[in-house]
Amino acid sequence: MSKDMKELRNQRNQKLEEAQGIVDAAESAKRQLNDEERGQFDALMKDAETIAADIKRHEQLDEQRRQQAGKGVTGAELGLDEREINRFSVVRLIRALSNPQDARAQKEAGFEIEACQEAAKLQGRSTRGIVIPSDMGMAPGVMARLEREGRSMLIPVEVLSKRSQLNAGTPTAGGNLVATDLLTGSFIDSLENQLALTGLGITTLSGLVGNVQIPKKTGSAQTYWLAEDDEVTPSGASVGQVALTPKTIGALTDYSRQLMQQSSMSVESFVRMDLMRSLALGIDLAGIAGSGASNQPRGVLNQSGIGSVLGGTNGAAPSWENIVQLETEVAVDNADIGSLGYLTNAKVRGKLKTTKVDDGSGMFVWDRMSPNTPLNGYRAAVSNQVPGNLTKGTGTDLSAILFGNWADLVMGLWGGLDLLVDPYTGAGAGKIRVVAFQSVDFALRHAESFAAMKDAITE
């Protein structure tokens, strides 16, 4: 919340506390309020009501500005400093939401609850859960920093559902976190696919509100050579649109109260890592290979109009010629500018490391002497998010290789993370269910900026 809002709320609370103090003093003395006390009480309550009206006006103005700007709400925009943003605790928030009658939990999470309520108000959103400000460790742009710090989370395609059972009593489902000497600095994370798109330089539009139409120039005016007294034939630029509409991704985790109480590891980091990385991988995968059906965004591989390099009827081993063809497909459409690079999986990298450019040079397609630009002088990201199970003819387990200007892949994000805490579904076993949702979509500014080979044989 803004500093002005903070001050107003503090003033209102102070008036209410003073009024309550007058009542408490009379009750302690077992007597009614005298005329002077009644006057003081009425004046304090009137002041509190006036301040409440001021707060309401501020809220209405903030909501109007938010709707007009169409931005997501960050902790910084709520008037929180870096220290306050860093101390935001998802675990405290979950405890409070799952125990609404627990006064201590409500008090401990007062800061988190108030920040989320203000975020929801400023976004003008209604939700069954609670809206977390986007820079409280929940925004995709924070992912790299969190991974460097040993934490990992990203929010937010169909409503994907990853469910994980975390229990202190079951070793493989949380119990291994409960120990006399738990070496948290040596915590062994699960093996996951690498996130690919963020490092390639895609374009992110955050804080979207409604459906988005991005104007796009699709044609230019024509030129003509004229004889004397000839007139120019009328022509003009044509304009189209690139559409983004929200698709929702979600993740679900069950964990026990005992785990939260007993774990000597940072539950904050563990819960976030388990829940948010699932969403990160789901969004990343959708941007690469989303089908565009069943509520998914359409990923680059399934976009119409991208360049195509064919290996063979049943696929073919990727070669130096294929790599050059991918670049050429983009270049002939004048799209070989911007954040150019390759994206493929580990199987293709392994194959290209043992594939020679030619018979005489001794060079391999994947240049180990240029680790930052290993494919014909371009950078190459490697992630098993890129499909390695494609089929063509009789060929199976075929892999994809993509090349393009990744800045022309646009990711749209709507609002902050919606967090829903359900203490009832697993109440009999003392479990708390946490569900997170975020809306996202992908689009290409120019399909011509990308080319793909989808039938690479790697074995």
- pLDDT over threshold 60, residue 181: no
For residue 339, how many other CB atoms are within 10 A of its CB?
16
Q: Which DSSP letter does residue 129 get?
A: S
- Give 133's pLDDT tier (boundaries 50, 70, 90): low
Burial readout 236-267 (b: 16 or more C-beta within 10 A, e: otherwise): eeeeeeeebebbbbbbbbbbbbbbbebbebbb
Residues of the chain above pLDDT 70, percent: 71
- What tens digit of pLDDT does each residue of 137-156 get? 443 333 443 343 333 333 22
The pTM for the full model equals 0.64
Strands (DSSP E) along 260-408, which ranges? 307-308, 340-344, 380-382, 390-392, 395-405
- pLDDT over threshold 60, residue 176: no
For the segment 46-72, the average pLDDT, to the nearest whole number, is: 67
For residue 35, how many other CB atoms are within 10 A of its CB?
7
The token pair at 400 is 């994809």
- Give 325's pLDDT tier (boundaries 50, 70, 90): very high
Most confident of 11-15, 266-270, 353-357: 353-357
- Give ∠ CA 251-253-257 in degrees, rounded to 5: 155
- pLDDT over threshold 90, residue 380: yes
Most confident of 123-132, 264-273, 401-410, 426-435: 401-410
For the segment 202-231, the average pLDDT, to the nearest whole number, is: 73
* pLDDT value of residue 220: 59
| Cα of 71 vs its chain's centroid, Å | 15
Domain ranges of the chain: 1-69
- pLDDT over threshold 60, residue 64: no
- Rounded Cα distance, 85 and 132, in Å: 11
